[in-house]
Amino acid sequence: MSTGTKRTAQRTLALLAALILGLAGLLVGANIWGTGESTPKLGLDLEGGTQMILEPVLVGTDTVSAQQLNQARDIITQRVDANGVAGAEVTTQGGRNIVVSIPDVPDKATEDAIRKPSQLRFRPVLIAQPGTVTPEPTATSGATSSPTSGTASPTTSAKPSATSVSPTTAKGAVPQALSRPAATTATSAPATSGATVTAPPATLPATTPTGTASPSASSGTPKDAYDTAWVTDALAKDFMALDCVKQGDTADLVDDPKKPLITCDADGQEKYILGPVVVEGDKIKDAAAGYKVLPNGQQSNEVVIDITFNGDGTKTYGEVSKKMVGLQDPNNRLATVLDKKVLVAPYFQSAITNGQAQISGNFQFNQARDLANQLKFGALPLSFQLQTRTEISPTLGSEQLRYGLIAGLIGLALVVGYSLLQYHALGFVTVASLVIAGLLTYLSLTLLGWSHNLRLDMAGVTGIIVSIGVTADSFIVYFERIRDEVREGRPLVSAVEAGWARAKRTILAADAVNFLAAGILYFLAASNVRGFAFTLGLTTLIDLIIVVMFTHPMVSLLARTKFFGSGHRWSGLDPERLGAKIRYAGRGRVTIADRRAASAEGSAL
């Protein structure tokens, strides 16, 4: 082995040591300063957890179909997994209810993600007013209103590449549609143009002494979703009586997509009469949380949700924007309604035809991430209420886990015994490799439990046990390749490198097949099998790391030692025991194995 090869092997071993120390340090830090634990989290079958039975909320004689129930089950499963709860079980019961079993005790965010329908819909704004009830106003004509004070205006801008959506109002501020601004209000235009865009003048209806205007009922049949003729006497009365601060949740309000809706924003600062739905949430192709990028390309601290519409949604959203961009405020505002609450209600500055939208609303990143997950996985076809919630005991428990660990130890002992018997001292490299692989697996599972709430169930334990054999196969392939080279008469140093060149292709192919099988199982199978697939895939990657970063460098260094390099009989690489061929070494010299073979032949004669 050349000096360069030796240094490469030493650097590789040092890099592996740094990786292990880094993972161990991260785990210690998670335990000291975070919510980490020193052991992997256990799954439902090993630790128990919480079982919730969800009952669909039906109106009148409505019934739930099997298709709706199965769709709801699939969406709930995706939502639970998106919140980092691995190993949850979601099943149907009696053709009506959904049973959700979750390891440990779920937090409020997880429960909300399970139960909420998250029906995202886009509705045009017909009327907007502050969210608190004022003294009884005098009815006036018109469908908009304005208080005597308040100067806040929307901070939205429409960009060619995306629709930038901002909150309709800051806390405690009055939206532009209800203020008395000048005849025109300028808002920022796309950063790429450096220009300004003049918004249409706000409509200024007559006001009462208190500064608010009551909507009056319109006559006639509404022509479209944007027509204020939707505002009837009964609707106007209910709207004026609505106090967003006192009422709080509007979940009981009817949300018929073909009818107008009275609702509030999430903070209760503004209330609305909204027209029928013009874009459904199922038109959303993708949603992701991130940080807003400023015009100069720098990332800001503002959390946003980027929404991408599918083909039909892009067309519909573009037509809506073209229609609304020319309307007067507040009728040029499109409300984004989630679970009957208005997230934002910005106005359009230009038509948006590329199917990209961006929502901002003073989100915390975790809130935006949870919301994006709910939007991405679609709307539940039904609303559900919690029927029962009970604690469940582990179905296998510590006893079965103990049996599984004993089985793993037996398998490990057999592999170690075989390695020492077959490869003698070289077998200790196998033992060390398995120990390091076990340490990496332990650190990985524990850290993933902390960062992604990964749960180790009995199927996962089985995957780890199977991986012992996978790892042993890699060592056997490598060692046997080295022995083959020694049998051909190569010196040990060159036999190690030649054996590695031949063995690594086989090892890579075998690990690739294992990893592909694990990936297919993970994405296509049920929750229990997914636990097996995940640990099998993880340990396959670790096996590859160990072989490349420990086993091969270590054998390369050992080949330079006198014990292994001279072919000691207990090294496992004794040329004589392996039946090495006689090979000419130059200037009348032969290899050690050749001399031994020649000596033995002379003694026999």
Cα-to-chain-centroid distance, residue 521: 19
Q: What CATH number has the domain bearing residue 301?
A: 3.30.1360.200
- Per residue in 467-486, pLDDT (tens digit) is 888 888 898 999 999 999 99
Both 215 and 262 in a single domain? yes
- Per residue in 482-507, pLDDT (tens digit) is 999 999 888 899 999 999 999 999 99
- Per residue in 588-600, pLDDT (tens digit) is 444 554 554 454 4
Quick one: average pLDDT of 322-337? 87
Cβ count near 393 (within 10 Å):
8
What is the pLDDT confidence band of residue 203, given thresholds at 50, 70 and 90? very low
Minimum mean pLDDT among 7-21, 114-128, 501-515: which range?
Answer: 114-128
Both 111 and 232 in a single domain? no
Distance separating the N- and C-terminal Cα atoms of the chain: 38
341 in any annotated domain = yes
Q: What CATH number has the domain bearing residue 85?
A: 3.30.70.3400
Q: What is the pLDDT of residue 29?
A: 93
Q: What secondary structure letter does DSSP report for 219?
A: P
Name which residue leads in pLDDT, 186 or 342.
342
Domain boundary among 345, 379, 413: 379
C-alpha to C-alpha distances, 99 to 43, 57, 113, 144, 454, nearest whole angstrom: 17, 15, 15, 47, 21
Beta bridge partners of 430: none
Write down the H helix ranges in 34-184: 44-47, 66-82, 108-115
Minimum mean pLDDT among 66-80, 249-263, 561-575: which range?
Answer: 249-263
**Domain containing 364: what range?**
120-379
Number of domains in the chain: 3
Both 226 and 360 in a single domain? yes
Residue 37: pLDDT over 50: yes
Write down the H helix ranges in 227-340: 233-241, 244-247, 311-324
Name which residue leads in pLDDT, 5 or 143.
5
- Per residue in 343-374, pLDDT (tens digit) is 778 777 778 888 887 877 677 888 788 777 76
Quick one: average pLDDT of 411-426? 92
Contact 451, 27 (CB under 8 A): no
Both 479 and 530 in a single domain? yes
Quick one: average pLDDT of 508-528? 88
Cβ count near 174 (within 10 Å):
23
Quick one: average pLDDT of 434-455? 92
C-alpha to C-alpha distances, 338 to 120, 345, 374, nearest whole angstrom: 4, 12, 10
Contacts for 79 with CB less than 8 Å, ≥ 6 apart:
113, 114, 373, 374, 377
Q: What CATH number has the domain bearing residue 438?
A: 1.20.1640.10
The backbone region for 453, taken as left when phi is positive above 0, alpha when psi lies in -120 to 50, beta otherwise, is left
What is the pLDDT confidence band of residue 515, given thresholds at 50, 70 and 90? very high
Q: What is the pLDDT of residue 180?
A: 28
Pairing of strands 384-392, 584-586: unpaired
Name which residue leads in pLDDT, 418 or 173.
418
Q: What is the pLDDT of residue 541?
A: 95
Q: What are phi and psi of 292, to 5 degrees?
A: -65, 135
Q: What is the pLDDT of residue 242?
A: 86
Both 156 and 270 in a single domain? yes
What is the pLDDT confidence band of residue 67, given thresholds at 50, 70 and 90? confident
User: Is this model's pTM higher than 0.75 or not?
Assistant: no
Q: What is the pLDDT of residue 332?
A: 87
Pairing of strands 163-165, 356-360: parallel
- Per residue in 532-555, pLDDT (tens digit) is 999 999 999 999 999 999 999 999
Residue 444: pLDDT over 90: yes
What does the block give as tokens for 321? 């924007």
Q: What is the pLDDT of residue 584?
A: 44
What does the block give as tokens for 440? 């990496």
| Sheet of 356-360, strands arranged across | 157-158, 163-165, 356-360, 299-309, 284-293
Quick one: average pLDDT of 114-135? 78
Both 148 and 60 in a single domain? no
Q: What are phi and psi of 268, to 5 degrees?
A: 75, 15
Residue 161: pLDDT over 80: no
Q: How far apart are CA 343 and CA 329, in angstroms?
A: 18
Q: How far apart are CA 223 and CA 208, in angstroms?
A: 30
